[in-house]
């Protein structure tokens, strides 16, 4: 499906012995100052340092989702850290 070289690809972070695993992650984007959250984004995540790899197709799809800006599937409250 992606051009990644498989689920056991070695981490690209220097000195990290971890391997990337298929995970579903949450990604945020800030188009034009808005905050957009996309859930269940397929990604490769290092089992040790948590480094994230996104396939080019995944990045493109997220850009489409943000650009199309349809009604969200779910809504969540957003808190400003500095105010608490
Ligand atoms: Zn790593």
Neighbours of 46 (CB within 10 A): 21
Give distance in angstroms: CA of 27 to centre of ligand 1.
19
Give distance in angstroms: CA of 33 to centre of ligand 1.
31
Give the pLDDT of residue 5.
52
Give distance in angstroms: CA of 35 to centre of ligand 1.
28
Grouped pLDDT means (10 residues each) for the chain, 84 residues = 60 96 94 88 97 96 87 90 92
Give distance in angstroms: CA of 84 to centre of ligand 1.
33
Give the pLDDT of residue 32.
82
* Calpha distance 20→12 (Å, rounded): 9
Give the pLDDT of residue 20.
96
Give distance in angstroms: CA of 53 to centre of ligand 1.
11
- For CA atoms 56, 35, 51, 46, the dihedral sign is negative
């Amino acid at each position: 499906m992606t051009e990644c070289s498989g689920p056991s690809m070695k981490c690209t972070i220097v000195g990290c012995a971890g391997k990337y695993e298929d995970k579903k992650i949450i990604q945020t984007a800030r188009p034009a100052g808005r905050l957009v959250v996309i859930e269940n984004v397929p990604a490769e995540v290092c089992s040790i340092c948590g480094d994230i790899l996104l396939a080019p197709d995944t990045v493109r799809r997220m850009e489409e989702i943000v650009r199309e800006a349809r009604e969200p599937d779910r809504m969540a409250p957003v808190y400003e850290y500095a105010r608490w």
